[in-house]
Amino acid sequence: MTLCDDLKIPVREQMIPREMLYIADEVFFTGTAAEITPLRSVDRIKVGKGSRGPLTKALQEEFFAILTGSRPDRHNWLTAGQRSAGRGHSLRNAGRAKFDVDAMMSVAPASRRLLVFS
């Protein structure tokens, strides 16, 4: 949400039924391990065009630019030991993530939190 604020992307947080993910233009995971990972499908149903969308791309580019030091870490997310000039991170494959969240979503409750970009 912080990166969305930085990029002037309006965000609304709300609970949604699972089926709303099926008609979304784009869906992505975020988190410590997932970073910002686009999803091609949910329950084997293609999301949007089935590839990384423009909002996901903008968020990934900003995130990885901060992570690699090509943009300043204005939120103090990194420690000196974490700045690694990009080792281990690459945008080369960022738009090609091939995730089907069928199994992962089945453990989540019937309604989930969604960030809606308007």
- Domains in the chain: boundaries: 2-117
Q: Please tell me the predicted confidence (pLDDT) of residue 49.
A: 93
pLDDT tens-place values along the chain, 118 residues long: 889 899 998 888 888 898 999 999 999 988 878 889 999 999 999 999 999 999 999 999 999 999 888 999 998 888 765 444 544 443 444 444 333 343 333 333 333 444 555 4
Judged on CB neighbours under 10 Å (0-12, 13-18, 19+), 10 is: exposed
Q: How many Å apart are CA 93 and CA 6, to the nearest integer?
A: 24
Q: Please tell me the predicted confidence (pLDDT) of residue 32.
A: 78
**Closest by CA position to 51, among listed 43, 61, 41:** 41
Q: How many Å apart are CA 37 and CA 59, to the nearest integer?
A: 10
Q: Please tell me the predicted confidence (pLDDT) of residue 44.
A: 93
**Closest by CA position to 95, among listed 42, 45, 36:** 36
Q: Please tell me the predicted confidence (pLDDT) of residue 59.
A: 93
Q: How many Å apart are CA 34 and CA 36, to the nearest integer?
A: 6
pTM of the model: 0.66
